[in-house]
Chain A
Amino acid sequence: MGYLLESTWYILQGCTTTLKLFALTLLFSLPLGFICAMAKTSKVKPLKFLMELYTSVVRGTPLLLQIFFVYYGLPIFFPGLRLERFTAAVLTFILNYGAYFTEIFRGGIQSIDRGQYEAARVLGMNYRQTMSRIILPQTFKRVLPPVANEAITLVKDTALVVVLGIGEVLRNSKEIVARDFTISPFIIAAVIYLMLNYVVVLIFRKLEQRYSVYE
């Protein structure tokens, strides 16, 4: 029992890093995705093209490869740009999830009926007023389920940074597994991920309930 508690405690210490990575990624990739989606749905051709390039490259290549690229690859192209391991991981995650959120938000914005724009327009609203008061609030509700999905995936994806040797949940459990030749730390890690995702699901369920008063 004491052994289990001790392992659990050690693995839980990795939670700080996992949570930090999770929180920082969401904190920056959501606004990034939002801004890129606005650019992608705008009428500015070069911007649209740039965003298309960004989302197709990022979504078309493995996240793991991107982590390697940012950590090992960037210093080769830009000598002196050797990022710290955690910084490299956070940066990659933000760019990666930003691309997915861009597509989710773009889809959300474009799913709003044209009649909504027309109604706002005949009432005299300009583009900014139409977006902020009519289109985006409706988009917000529609993108909640796919954003929740991404958040759940993100919890699990944080485990990928084990390849950089960052001490998060998976890495800490792996250490014990290697030391003691027992599989139980992996089970502990699984339970921790499950619980983290349970919290994520709860939060999004609450949000969805709050916005279910209409439709």
Chain B
Amino acid sequence: MNNTMIKVENLHKNFGSLEVLKGIDLEVRKGEIISIIGPSGSGKSTLLRCLIHLEKTSSGSIIIEGSPISFEEDGRQIHFAESVIRERCRKLGMVFQNFNLFPHKTAIENICEAPVALGRKSKAAALAFGERLLERVGLSEKRNSYPCHLSGGQKQRVAIARALAMEPDVMLFDEPTSALDPELIGEVLAVIKELAEDDMTMLIVTHEMTFAREVSGRVIFMDEGEIIEAAAPEKLFTDPDHPRIKTFLEKML
């Protein structure tokens, strides 16, 4: 039984002449929780965005549950149709730093929009599922609120529920708490921890070191477009091989 969810090989991404990802190799196994840390501009967001094809990769392979969305063979890049990529990326869900909720939809409508639009579920089934998700993130009473009437923490919890509504196999989080007031961070992290308890596979870009240490099975340190070290949190946070990581961690504390 092959339980590799995402496999990345020699991934490169350039913005014009700027090389942002310089050969990333990464394997994400089912149920794994990986935190990605590193200084600003190191390419953490770009990596996540490439995985879910918000950015087109420059070269290299990304294989999602056995199906490539980008593939390099003998130095030749193989291209896929947008519709094929979209279909394959449906295995992934993503949560953004600034939520990106649909402002013209209520909380429950935000959650049900995609499953209904894509014909994944009937309206009734989507609603029932959406209500369960809202309950799960502790926002049942905000069912009919528009995003403008929600706090940052509540918005992010709705955004998580919205991503879960598509029943993804892997969740990508790009700094889910960075836009939040300090007192609201906890409620969002609690929801992510609950997902961890349910064995959701997750990739989390975060600056919350304590949280990363607590929740993840593996921590990846990125710098200047490369993975410098990937290790268990106990190892990476206490005894990293690379001096750059030590300096970074000291600054974070």
Contacts and interface: CB of A to CB of B under 8 A. Distances in A.
Please list the 8 inter-chain residue pairs (A to B) with the smallest Cβ-Cβ separation, ordered nearest first. A123-B114, A119-B100, A115-B100, A122-B94, A214-B146, A124-B90, A129-B117, A137-B104
Interface in A110-145: 113, 115-116, 118-126, 129, 133-134, 137-138, 141
A1 interface: no
A116 B100 contact: yes
A27 B117 CA distance: 29
Contacts of B113: 123, 133-134
Q: Which of B98, B103, B148, B166 has the most CB of A within 10 A?
A: B103
B238 interface: no
Interface string B80-99: 00010010011011101010
Contacts of B94: 122
B162 A124 contact: no
B103 A138 contact: yes
B148 A214 contact: yes
Given A123-B114, A129-B118, A214-B146, 6 more contacts: A122-B52, A122-B89, A124-B86, A124-B166, A133-B117, A134-B102
Interface residues of A, number: 21
B103 to A, nearest CB: 5
A187 interface: no
A163 interface: no
A79 to B, nearest CB: 49
State which size class the interface on B falls in: 20 to 34
Given A214-B103, A214-B146, A214-B148, A125 B118 contact: yes
Interface in B104-162: 104, 113-114, 117-118, 146-148, 162
5 contacts: A118-B100, A119-B96, A214-B147, A214-B148, A215-B146
A5 interface: no
A213 interface: yes
A215 B103 contact: yes
B211 to A, nearest CB: 23
B18 interface: no
Nearest to B90: A124
Contacts of A121: 54, 86
Interface in A91-125: 113, 115-116, 118-125
Contacts of B54: 118, 121-122
Contacts of A215: 103, 146, 148
B101 interface: yes
Nearest to A129: B117
Contacts of B114: 120, 123-125
B26 to A, nearest CB: 19
A214 to B, nearest CB: 4
A213 B146 contact: yes
Nearest to A116: B100
A26 B97 CA distance: 42
B163 interface: yes
A119 B101 contact: yes
A154 to B, nearest CB: 27
A120 B147 CA distance: 16
